[in-house]
Amino acid sequence: MIKFGDLKEIAMLGSGTFGRVALVKDTASGETFALKRMRKLAVMSTPEHIFCEQSITREVRHFACMRQHASFQDAHYLYFLFDYVEGCDLMDALAAVATVRSIRQPSKGVFGPKIKMLRGMRESQARYYVAAVTLALEYLHSCHIVYRDLKPENVLLSLDGAAKLGDFGFSKKLEKGSHTYTFCGTPGYVAPEVVLARGYGTSVDWWGLGVLTYVLLTGQQPFSQTVNGQPEDPLTVMKRIVDRSWTVSFPVY
């Protein structure tokens, strides 16, 4: 059993609205972990998400899912001890390879003019990450868990390229055959069922996987556009998601 007093902080990995994540070492075993610390006052507005994250990450046992090894608390903070993934997230990996290229439109023939277009990962590379996420989602769904926040930032990559699905803050365990109605997730990735609030199940994760695939291949989101260097209003993006007349634009490549 891991004891809180045996954990020694090595470095800070990141911080956000609710708290911080630090790299720690268990002095008893020599293993390294990521320790997520959250202020109790900061999470009081969304306690359900915290309890779901704790219970779900404690339960999951899959190589492509982040696992919780222990949890602690003191007077001011909650602590979750997770796997440490020594690498980057999938968005960082995408940013490292995405480039603007000159591509000739097939409809214009071999002598047609070339146009500059943003291109993401190679298809073989994207296929590998999509396959890893697919295995993670299949496992979660077999446990009646809906993930609800699939995006490149939530897929963590180790130095050898292995991928793990992390950040289970929006995940929820459903009764078999039941639905949930909560609106949550990232605007550009949410499924129409989430926006319309008519009840949804694990199918929303497959929609998110489709959006993730598009993003990895093109370097941009299918329902969101950049205006004057700034992202669009989330409400505009979500209106497109539920608009049957909106056509997703696929690059010529």
Residues with a catalytic annotation lie at 149
Q: Strand, coil or helix: what is 13? A: strand
Exposed/middle/buried for residue 66 (C-beta within 10 Å: 0-12, 13-18, 19+)? buried
| Cβ 78 vs Cβ 37: under 8 Å | yes
Q: How far is CA 11 from CA 8, 93, 176, in A?
A: 9, 22, 42
Q: Which amino acid is at 121?
A: M
Backbone angles phi, psi at 231, to 5 degrees: -70, 155
Q: Strand, coil or helix: what is 211? A: helix
**How far is the C-alpha of 173 from the C-alpha of 251, rounded, in Å?**
37
